[in-house]
Amino acid sequence: MTRIDAKFAALKDQNRKAFVAYVMAGDPDFDTSLALVRGMPGAGVDVIELGLPFTDPMADGPTIQLAGQRALEGGMTLDRTLELARRFREDDDTTPIVMMGYYNPIYSRGVDTFLEQARAAGIDGLIVVDLPPEEDEELCLPAQAAGLNFIRLATPTTDDKRLPKVLTNTSGFVYYVSITGITGAAEAQAADVGPEVARIKAASDLPVIVGFGVNSPDKAQSVASVADGCVVGSAIVKRIGDGESVDDVLAYVATLAAGAHRA
């Protein structure tokens, strides 16, 4: 059982929804990013999504693209991202970390080497947005054999014919993308999300977490109420990009977490 599996089992026992927070590793710099990640569990974050900076983030909107650019310009690399996870694990051995990014840096490192390093650093799961199920032998199956969850995205365009393929070999949780498009492009609507979450849950026993378009405590509550939890990324990353202090960003994160936990 991974930390992700253990976390969702505990949340289910507590009849509580999950709050997942995304930050870009190294944005705006290593030390600030580490301080933010270290402060997230205390702010109510159940699962941390740690973005791996990449030069061509095709699924991300301007806010997260800029965060990746800031991180890369500050010298953030795959090695430094893994180091950030290792430093976090010095004080926290229970909060799950999901690394979210693209396949190129992993492929360049070599899958076996990357998986060994990621597990040693305390990474619990992967979301790799540009590897479809047809490429499971590339990373998904080796990752799961190495003890990491491989979390897949389902979207509004994932129809009933495609859904079983998407769910095959998925573990940890299913990430439902609430809108068609890039991150930060529109607001999620619970009325639209609810039936889609129900459709996925009818086909899988995994928790379904909704991301994209969740940007306020009320929105976190409404979206989490029709799913097993929600993810907030762009709204947090924007505040980091605006230069807010670590304390102010974490205070905002706490309001989002409280919203999700009210669901």
Classify strands 149-150 and 125-128 as parallel, antiparallel or unpaired.
parallel
| 160 catalytic residue (yes or no) | no
| Other CB atoms within 10 Å distance of the CB of residue 60 | 25
Helices 217-224 & 190-203, crossing angle to 10 degrees? 40
| 60 catalytic residue (yes or no) | yes
Q: Catalytic one among 60, 124, 196, 228?
A: 60
What secondary structure does DSSP assign to 80-138, as a single string? HHHHHHHHHHTT-SSS-EEEEE-HHHHHHH-HHHHHHHHHHHT--EEEETT--GGGTTT
Instruction: Estimate to the nearest angstrom the gap between the alpha carbon of 83 and the chain centroid.
Output: 18
Burial 205-239 (b: 16+ CB within 10 A, else e): ebbbbbbbbbbebebbbbbbebbbbbbbbbbbbbb
Residue whose C-alpha is closest to residue 143's, from 102, 171, 105, 164: 171
Q: Catalytic one among 27, 49, 124, 136?
A: 49
Amino acid type, 4: I
Catalytic residue IDs:
49, 60
